[in-house]
A and B are shown apart, each in its own frame.
Chain A
Amino acid sequence: MNMKKLLLMVMLALPVAATAQQHKQKTKKANVETSEWKYEIAPVSVGTQGNVVVAVWSDSAAPVVAAEQAKKNAVHGVIFKGIPSNGSVPGKRPLVQDSAAEQEHAGYFDSFFADGGAYMRFVTLTGNERDVTKIDKRRYRVGAVVVVNYDNLRRELENQGIVKKLGSGF
C-alpha cells in the first residue's frame, strides 16, 4: 500500500519537476540571448512625468519567458541605445552617451541586469497581451509594452557616477 502511494506521488511529482526544470533551462537560455541585446525598441506614448512608455521586440526561442526579458531589454535600450522618434512622440538619446561605459562598468551592469537585479526597480510591464510572431522554426519575436521610470533610472546612474549630473562642475 505504502509502495503504491509512493509510486503515485513520484509519478505526480515528476512532470512538475520536469516542467520546472524546463522553465529554468528556458530562462537560462533566454538570459544568454538577452545578454546579446538583440531587440528593437520604439516609443509608444509620452507617458506620465518621469516615465517613458516603449514597445520592445525581443527574439527568443521561448515566448513564455520572453516577456520578462523584454523588461531587461527596455531598460538596456533606454540606457545604451536610446529611443528613436516615432512621429508625434520625440525620441530620447541614450542616458549613457559614452560607448565604452558599458565595458568600464561591466561589474555594475552585470549585477544590475541579473535575474531579480536592480533593473526591476525601474520597469513595469503593462497588461498581459504580448505580440508573438514566429520568425523561423525555433524562434519567436515577442513584443511587449513596457513603462520605464526614466528619471529614477537617470538618478541611479548619476549616483553611481556613470552619468554626469546636469551642470556638474558648476
Chain B
Amino acid sequence: MKRLILGAVISLAAITCFGQAKKPTLMVVPSDAWCTKHGYVKTFDNQGVAERYPDYQRALQEDTDLLLVISKLGEMMADRGFPLKDLESAMRSVRNDAAEDAVTLSKEEGDVLAETPLEALKRTAKADIILQLTWTVNKTGPKQSVTFNLRGLDSYTDKQVAAASGTGAPSFSAELPVLLEESVLAHIDNFNNQLQSHFDDLFENGREVKLTCRRWSGSDVDFESEFDGEELGFLIEDWVAENTVHGRFSTADATENRMVFEQVRIPLEGANGRAVDTRQWANGLRRHLREAYNIDAKLDTKGLGEAIITIGGK
C-alpha cells in the first residue's frame, strides 16, 4: 500500500514537472529600419558587397528612449505572466560564453573546446517570439506625434503572429518619452490579444516548423530507394503524417535527393508529457529511419523551427 501511494505521488510530481508545454520566450528587439534610421548599424564587406546589420549593443548603450520602451514593454508583459528575455543581457551572455569557451582547456591534455564554424555562427541571442519594435517621430509645426509599430515574429516560422501599430494624438507640449510611453499603453492590450490567439492556435493545431531531408552524395540510399515495395520518400511522408497534429503538413519539394516539408504542425507535448521542440521531434524520424530501414542519418537544426535530416551517415 505504501509503495502504491509513493508511486502515485511520484507520478503526480512527474506530471506536474513535465506535463506542460514549454512556455515561449519573448524578447524585444529594435527593427532593422529603426537601427538604420538612428545610425546603429555595422557594415561589413561580404565578398565585395557592403552589407549592413544592426548594432544592438550600441543602440542599447546610447539610446535612452529605446531602453524606456523596452522597460515599459517588459513591465507590462511581466504583469501578464510573460517576463521578457532581455536583449542586452542575452547578448552579454553570448559574449561571455564565447570568451570563457576560448580560454577553457582540458586538465590533462590542455585541449580546447571543440566547435565547428557552423556552431560558432549559430551562437546568437534567441527567443521563441521576437517583438520587433519601430517608432518614428512626426513633426507638424510645433506639434509632434509618434507612429508606433510592434510586431511579434515567430522565430520558428518567421511569420508575424501579432502586431499593433498606429499614430498617437499630436501634442504641443508632451515630450518624446511621454508620447512613447503612451504608445506602449495604447497598443499593448491589442498586441497581447493577438498573441493569445496565436497561443490558442498552438494548443489547437501544434507548433509550426519546417523539416528538410537530404542525402550525402556518397549514400547508397536516396528518397526513391524502395523498402518493402514503397519508396523511402513516401515512407517518410507517412511518418510525418502520423506524428503531426491532425496530420497537418505540406510537402513543398520531393526529389530523389531532397524533401522539404513545410507548415509541419508538431505537438507541444510528447506522449510522455514532456515538452517537445523541433529537434526532439525530428529525432523521432532519425530513430525511425535507423530502426525500421537501417539508415543512418545526421540531425541538424537551423534556428528554432527548422530540422534538417541528412541520410547516409553522420
Contact = CB atoms under 8 A, between A and B. Distances in A.
| Residues of A contacting B: mostly | loop
B186 A167 contact: no
A92 interface: yes
Given A89-B169, A92-B190, A93-B190, A167 B82 contact: yes
Interface string A86-97: 011111110000
B172 to A, nearest CB: 14
A22 B166 CA distance: 48
Interface in A121-157: 150-151
A24 interface: no
23 contacts: A45-B169, A46-B168, A46-B185, A49-B76, A88-B166, A88-B169, A90-B164, A90-B166, A92-B189, A93-B189, A93-B193, A164-B196, A165-B81, A166-B80, A166-B196, A167-B80, A167-B195, A167-B196, A167-B199, A170-B20, A170-B21, A170-B23, A170-B24
Given A46-B182, A169-B21, A150 B199 contact: no
B167 interface: yes
B199 A170 contact: yes
Interface of B: 20-24, 76, 79-82, 145, 164, 166-170, 182, 185-187, 189-190, 192-193, 195-196, 199, 203
Nearest to A169: B203
Nearest to A97: B193
A84 interface: no
Counting chain A residues whose Cβ lies within 8 A of the other chain, the interface size class is: 20 to 34
A48 B81 CA distance: 20
Contacts of A165: 80-81
B61 to A, nearest CB: 27
